[in-house]
């Protein structure tokens, strides 16, 4: 099975689940109150910033940023992502990684 077919199959159920989760929980949830500002710093290109309340390595941020940059090349240059957008993208990427 080709990459495009696999991506289409995974997206066909990950996207609806992501939309449902974001509709039910539109605000940052649990530890996302720490992770969202950190992800915003990375999206702005500030890779030297780190919140000491976060105990996990920055891999999720780097992978998420690389994924978003590959899909939307102009996103990184805009450097103005809302908290909602970052939250939705991180939740989507988490669900994608779990699948």
What would the pLDDT profile of 2-47 be if each residue is shown by its tens digit? 777 877 787 788 888 888 887 888 777 788 788 878 877 877 778 8
Q: Are 45 and 69 in contact, with CB atoms under 8 Å apart?
A: no
- pLDDT digits over 36-57, tens only? 788 778 777 788 888 898 888 7
Q: How far apart are CA 45 and CA 65, in angstroms?
A: 10
pTM over 0.75: no
Domain boundaries, the chain: 3-98
Those residues with Cβ within 8 angstroms of residue 11's Cβ, 6 or more apart along the chain or in another chain? none
């Amino acid at each position: 099975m080709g990459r495009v077919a696999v991506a289409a199959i995974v997206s066909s159920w990950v996207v609806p689940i992501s939309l449902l989760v974001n509709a039910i929980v539109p605000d940052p949830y649990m530890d996302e109150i720490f992770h969202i500002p950190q992800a915003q710093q990375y999206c702005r290109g500030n890779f030297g910033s780190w919140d000491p309340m976060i105990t996990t390595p920055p891999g999720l941020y780097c992978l998420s940023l690389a994924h978003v940059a590959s899909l939307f090349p102009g996103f990184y240059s805009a450097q103005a992502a809302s908290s909602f957008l970052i939250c939705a993208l991180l939740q989507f990427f988490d669900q994608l990684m779990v699948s």
